[in-house]
Amino acid sequence: MDVAEFEACWHAHLRRVSAYAERHVGRDASYDVAASTFLTAWRTWDAVPAEPLPWLIAVARGHVRNHLRSHRRRAGLEQRLRLLDDATPSATDAGTTAAERSDALAVLAAMPDGEREALLLVAWEGLTTEQAAEVLGCRPGTLRMRLHRARARIEATTPLPLIRSTP
């Protein structure tokens, strides 16, 4: 175990792992998810790949699922809207109106989980399609199809500059 390598990984990726967790479980629980993710990394450091971010987000995703299952935090559309709202920039920061922001969150919340997660990993987490596919445990082609479907839903509903991104 190389402590310096682990510390470098921690400093380089803690913010992104925490942001990922916050989007799913809220600010308070995101600290626990991030800590658990890096504890897993510490304990299994030899299994962490050279490019650790997709691996860390995949581990965080597992901790998020465990957290949600044990605390039953997500109970439908209202809960998802609240969490997404907490994680998005304010309307003035995003250069968009509050109504557009609300519409964007409603479209995201109404998407199937796989499509929404694919879109958010690429657009908000900044992962490549290959990295996002690794996080979700699917092929890059499958992820690209999910992205296509998610973007088609967005285009069919309303123009939403808040969540558009090119992979």
| Rounded-to-integer distance, Cα 78 and Cα 80, Å | 6
| Rounded-to-integer distance, Cα 111 and Cα 106, Å | 9
Neighbours of 131 (CB within 10 A): 22
Return the H-helix or E-strand segment holding 38. Answer: helix 27-43
Give CATH for domain 77-157. Answer: 1.10.10.10
The domain limits of the chain are 3-71, 77-157
Query: Is the whole model's pTM more than 0.85, yes or no?
Result: no
| Rounded-to-integer distance, Cα 17 and Cα 111, Å | 23
Q: Return the residue matching tokens 């939403």.
A: 160
The three-point CA angle 120-126-127 to 5° equals 90
| Rounded-to-integer distance, Cα 55 and Cα 27, Å | 22
Q: What is the pLDDT along the chain (167 residues), one digit of tens a residue?
A: 689 999 999 999 999 999 999 999 999 999 999 999 999 999 999 999 999 999 999 999 999 999 888 776 445 555 556 666 666 655 555 455 666 767 777 888 888 889 989 988 888 888 899 999 999 999 999 999 999 998 888 888 755 454 444 44
